[in-house]
Amino acid sequence: GLRLTGVAAHSPAETSFLNTMLQLRNSNCEVLLLGTILGDTIRILKTRQQLQWEVPLVGNVSAYDQLIVEQSGAAAEGFYATASVEMLYAEELSTPVAQEFFTAYTKKYGEAPSNAVQMAYFYARIFTHALELAGPELNTHTLVRALESLANYPDPLGGPTLRFGPGDHEGLERPLLAQ
């Protein structure tokens, strides 16, 4: 197994990660787990490339976006990100709902929906469905009960089936790890 060999943090305004990356490299990390957003992730990947350090990096769902690859180029090699839903591409859509969503979004905004947009749509659909189930007497209790009743909620875009219950608020059995 792996053991924790180093921890580093940065301020939201930080733009240089050289010292942080050197500190982590000197701690003999075998893998870096990031809790960063897009811009910070891109800067970290580019810094790792400048240092010629080939350690794998794993980002959270906030860093699961095609923009990472587009902005980082070759520096994104060896980068993984966790996610709850797989990014969809126009040429691989498996449901009519996904095709309608992609067509409408692309027509309105002139580009395909990013992963952040897709995830927002995914979660908004779950939330609106739960609101409908909660009924007109909406309160915390009825909303929680409605969400917990989603025992086999299929993703209309073709993603995973979610399972919630009184003792299970995670929804997914296994998150996705994407490269």
Q: What is the pLDDT of residue 107?
A: 96
Residue 1 has pLDDT above 80, yes or no: no
Lookup: tokens for 26: 């000197």
153 forms beta bridges with 162
What pLDDT digit, counting tens, does each position of 114-136 carry? Answer: 888 888 888 898 899 999 999 99
Query: What average pLDDT does the chain have?
Result: 89
Average pLDDT score over residue span 145-156:
88
Average pLDDT score over residue span 22-37:
92
**Which of 97-106, 134-143, 165-174 is predicted least confidently?**
165-174
Residue 60 has pLDDT above 80, yes or no: yes
Contact 40, 32 (CB under 8 A): no
Q: What confidence tier does 73 reach under pLDDT thresholds 50, 70, 90?
A: very high
Q: For the chain, give the percent of residues with pLDDT over 90.
A: 50
Give 55-122 as a DSSP string: --EEE-GGG-SHHHHHHHGGGGTTEEEEESSPPP-GGG--SHHHHHHHHHHHHHHSSPPPHHHHHHHH
Residue 90's nearest CA partner among 102, 108, 106, 101 is 102
Q: What is the pLDDT of residue 33?
A: 93
Residue 24 has pLDDT above 80, yes or no: yes
Global pTM exceeds 0.85: no
Q: Judging by DSSP bridges, how do beta strands 176-178 and 79-83 pair with one another?
A: antiparallel
